[in-house]
Amino acid sequence: MDGSWLEWTLGVMFFTVYIFCIFTVCMITFQKGRWVLGIAGIFLPILWLIGAILPPRRGSRYDIAQQSFYRQGATQTSVPPAPVPTPPAGGAGAQST
């Protein structure tokens, strides 16, 4: 078997992180409309992170979903005001002797 135990362990760990990035950061990059960064990120995965951090392009799937989410929140009823506490029975200055 070629390679030491450490080389195999590091290789498997890096491959696992790469696959994880494909299913998370890469998908966000493509949804934000950053196609060039998504394809170039196959070779340089740091570009996926850059594409995921940048704001979405106008009309992208991510932008449309974000706008509909904000519109839905704006059309819902507002939170009712907190109830006003009532003073204790007998008034503020009343004391029992």
Ordered DSSP codes for 26-46? IHHHHHTT-HHHHHHTTT-TH
Question: What pLDDT shows up at residue 91?
Answer: 60
Say what the pLDDT of residue 97 is.
Answer: 59
- pLDDT (0 to 100) of residue 85: 81
CA distance 59 to 34: 12
pLDDT of residue 77: 55
Query: Which residues does the chain have with pLDDT short of 70?
Result: 1-2, 74, 76-80, 90-97
- Is-above-0.75 flag for pTM? no
Q: What is the DSSP letter of 11?
A: H
pLDDT computed for residue 9 by the predictor:
93
Q: Which two tokens mark 61? A: 């799937």
pLDDT of residue 82: 75
Per-residue confidence (pLDDT) for residue 58, from 0 to 100: 92
